[in-house]
C-alpha cells in the first residue's frame, strides 16, 4: 500500500434508488391541480406532518433552509387568514391553511447549525470555514453598507474576468434568494399532498400586511404564498388544465 493510499480520506457514497415507479410519479404530477373547492374531510395529522417533512427535503442553497411553514389552525386566526386571502373559495373551504414564509433573518443561526449538526462526528475544517463565510453572501448590512461594498468588489473582479456566484447586493436580492428556495419547498408540499390523496391551491393573491399582522412576522420574513389543502370536492376543479406549446419554453443550446 502506497503512502498516498494510506492518507486517502474516506468518501461518502449514497447509491441512487433504481426501483422508483415513474408512472406513479407522473400520475402525481399530472393529477396535481389548483383546487378551488374542498370537501369537509379532514387531513389526518400524521399525513399532514409527513407532507410537511417532505417539503423540508426540498433543495436549498448551502443547506441554509431559509423557510418557515405556519399551519394556521386557530379558528380565530384561520378566519382572519381567509379574509386576508380575499375570501377566496379555496381558502374558505380548505381544511388546512399553510402560510409559506421565506426568511433572511436566520442566516447566522442556520450556518452554525450546519456545523454543529454536521452528519459526522466533527465538521471538516473546510466545512466550518465555509459556514463562517457563506452568510455574508446573502447579507447586505446596515444601510446596505455590505451590499454596496460587494457591488464594487464584484464589479472589479468581473473586469478581471473572474467568475463569481450570485450574491445579494441589496435586501431585494436577499429576498429573491430566499423566495426561490421557499418556492421549491412549496412544490414538494403540494406534490406530497397529492401523493397522499389530498389536494391544494397555491394562493399568491393575499393581503400581505394583514398576513404579517396575523403571524407577527418581522421585516425579514416574507410570505410567499398561502397553501389551502384538503380533499378535492367533486366540483373542486373549475377548468381543464392546458399548457402552451413546449417550444415556447424549452430551448436546447
**237-246, long-range: CB < 8 A, 24+ apart:** 237/33, 237/34, 237/35, 237/36, 238/36, 241/33
* Position 70 pLDDT exceeds 60: yes
- Is 223 in a helix, a strand, or coil? strand
Percent of the chain with pLDDT over 70: 96
Give the pLDDT confidence of 206-248 residue by residue, as tens digits.
999 999 999 999 999 999 999 999 999 999 999 999 999 999 9
* Position 143 pLDDT exceeds 80: yes
Range in 78-87, 151-160, 193-202, 204-213 the model is least confident about: 151-160
pLDDT band at 158 (very low <50, low <70, confident <90, very high): confident
pLDDT of residue 2: 53
pTM of the model: 0.91
Compute the distance between CA of residue 96 and CA of residue 73 in angstroms, rounded to an integer: 7
pLDDT of residue 6: 54
| Nine-digit cell string for 33 | 391541480
pLDDT of residue 174: 96
Compute the distance between CA of residue 14 and CA of residue 48 in angstroms, rounded to an integer: 28
pLDDT band at 166 (very low <50, low <70, confident <90, very high): confident
Pick the more confident residue, 65 or 165.
65
CA distances from 24 to 91, 184, 187, 189 (A): 28, 21, 17, 17
- Is 73 in a helix, a strand, or coil? coil
Asked if the 33-170+185-236 domain carries CATH number 3.40.109.10, the reply is: yes
Return the closest-CA partner of residue 125 out of 111, 112, 134, 115: 115
pLDDT of residue 251: 93
Amino acid at each position: 500500500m502506497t503512502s498516498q493510499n494510506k492518507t486517502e480520506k474516506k468518501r461518502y457514497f449514497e447509491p441512487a434508488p433504481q426501483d422508483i415507479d415513474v408512472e406513479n410519479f407522473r400520475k402525481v404530477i399530472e393529477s396535481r391541480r389548483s383546487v378551488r373547492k374542498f370537501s369537509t374531510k379532514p387531513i389526518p395529522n400524521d399525513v399532514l406532518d409527513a407532507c410537511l417533512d417532505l417539503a423540508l427535503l426540498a433543495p436549498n442553497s448551502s443547506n441554509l433552509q431559509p423557510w418557515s411553514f405556519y399551519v394556521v389552525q386557530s379558528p380565530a386566526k384561520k378566519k382572519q387568514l381567509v379574509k386576508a386571502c380575499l375570501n377566496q373559495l379555496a381558502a374558505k373551504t380548505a381544511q388546512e391553511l399553510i402560510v409559506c414564509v421565506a426568511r433572511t433573518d436566520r442566516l447566522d443561526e442556520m450556518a452554525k447549525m450546519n456545523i454543529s449538526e454536521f452528519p459526522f462526528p466533527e465538521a471538516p475544517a473546510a466545512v466550518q470555514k465555509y459556514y463562517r463565510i457563506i452568510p455574508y453572501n446573502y447579507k447586505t448590512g446596515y444601510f446596505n453598507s455590505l451590499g454596496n461594498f460587494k457591488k464594487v468588489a464584484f464589479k472589479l473582479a468581473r473586469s478581471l474576468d473572474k467568475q463569481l456566484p450570485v450574491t445579494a447586493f441589496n435586501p431585494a436580492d436577499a429576498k429573491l434568494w430566499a423566495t426561490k428556495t421557499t418556492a421549491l419547498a412549496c412544490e414538494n408540499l403540494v406534490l406530497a399532498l397529492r401523493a397522499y390523496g389530498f389536494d391544494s391551491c397555491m394562493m399568491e393573491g393575499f393581503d400581505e400586511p394583514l398576513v404579517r399582522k396575523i403571524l407577527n412576522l418581522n421585516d425579514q420574513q416574507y410570505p410567499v404564498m398561502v397553501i389551502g389543502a384538503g380533499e378535492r370536492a367533486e366540483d373542486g376543479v373549475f377548468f381543464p388544465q392546458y399548457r402552451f406549446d413546449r417550444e415556447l419554453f424549452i430551448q436546447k443550446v
